[in-house]
Amino acid sequence: MTTNTPDRARTRFPGISSRAYEHPADRSALVALRSLTGFDVVLRKLSGLFNERALRLMFLGGTVRVGENQFRQLHDMVRDAAYILDMPEVPEMYVRQDPTPNAMAIGSDHPFIVINTGLIDLLDEEELRFVVAHEVGHILSGHAVYQTMMQILISLGTRLAWLPLGNIAISAIIIGLREWFRKAELSSDRAGLLGGQDLDAAKRVMMKLAGGTRLQEMSHEAFLAQAQEYDAAGDVRDGLLKFLNLLPQSHPYAVIRFAEIDRWANSGEYERILAGDYPRRDDDGSASVTDEMKNAANSYRESWERSADPFIGKVRDVADGVASAAGGLFDRVANRAGGGGNGGNGGNGGNGPTSGSSS
């Protein structure tokens, strides 16, 4: 399958890097992984149990492969998304008979997309275009890599459950990975908007995922107000309950995704990318892990400052206190070791605990 011009005029992004649309917390982790020489080789050896070829054969035998003669509309959408996001090849797509409205991108060597009939039945053409571009964004970012990590750790956790504290340690890592996944979903929502270039369609997807097809019974403004109410709801106890409710979730709640894509689309970043101002794939090798970690920490800090959740306020106060204390301690140690000349580095050292607490 080769890339072709999409069916209507949409802005194309030659050479675009996934860093252009990735959420800072997602991007920092991906930049760090890409900087680890040989990491992908080790991961493939560890993931031998999850055979991509066997998985592909399973879908080839039990679902419908999208092409020019089957689900032609979806075929055109994935071709268009690959063209717009300048993918080197168009990923395969399969339609699975399943009433659950869901889609996923899986695989590592040659990732492919699976979309459930429940999602096809739920969405209109432009909404489906957003979803298909969302999945192409997952592939362009390489998110399947840590999806595989998750499966390995879950499998390892069941084997280590009998060891004292063994399963607790694995569970803590999985909690961190789930937070990473949720930010990856926000990244791919942005990719979906870039691929479809229809903000209203992106918002309708979130509303339909939450409330079904009866859009005439729903309102963009009321749904956004609902997101704001969810953010500010209750006292510290409610904030803690929201945090605990979110821990096992692979995706952010629909109201959160709605508010996030609305905020990003109106932040100026979306317009800059449309105008051609975005990082290029050719420069990915020079991306700084340190800079991206700082960007991730700043992103969490900004989201905390925007939030009206009392629980987030308490967490922010504690995190800021720890960061300040650690920064002061670092300054004192640095000054004792090398006099006053290292004061600048001491200030940067204070960012470490902030980055750590963000994960």
| Strand arrangement, sheet containing 103-106 | 64-65, 93-96, 112-116, 103-106
Distance from C-alpha of 234 to C-alpha of 309, rounded to nearest angstrom: 8
Reference 119, options 132, 135, 133, 102; nearest CA is 102
Instruction: Write out the two tokens for 69.
Output: 């003669």
- H-helix or E-strand spanning residue 140: helix 125-141
135 catalytic? Reply is yes
Catalytic residue among 22, 92, 127, 135: 135
Give the count of beta carbons closer than 10 Å to the beta carbon of residue 343.
12
Supply φ then ψ for residue 66, to 5 degrees. Answer: -70, 140
Distance from C-alpha of 202 to C-alpha of 1, rounded to nearest angstrom: 27
- Residues 245-261, buried b or exposed e (16+ Cβ, 10 A)? eeeeeebbbbbbbbbbb
Distance from C-alpha of 225 to C-alpha of 228, rounded to nearest angstrom: 5
Supply φ then ψ for residue 150, to 5 degrees. Answer: -60, -45
Distance from C-alpha of 202 to C-alpha of 205, rounded to nearest angstrom: 5
Distance from C-alpha of 151 to C-alpha of 47, rounded to nearest angstrom: 9
In the block, residue with structure tokens 């079904």: 212
Q: Catalytic residues, which ones? A: 135
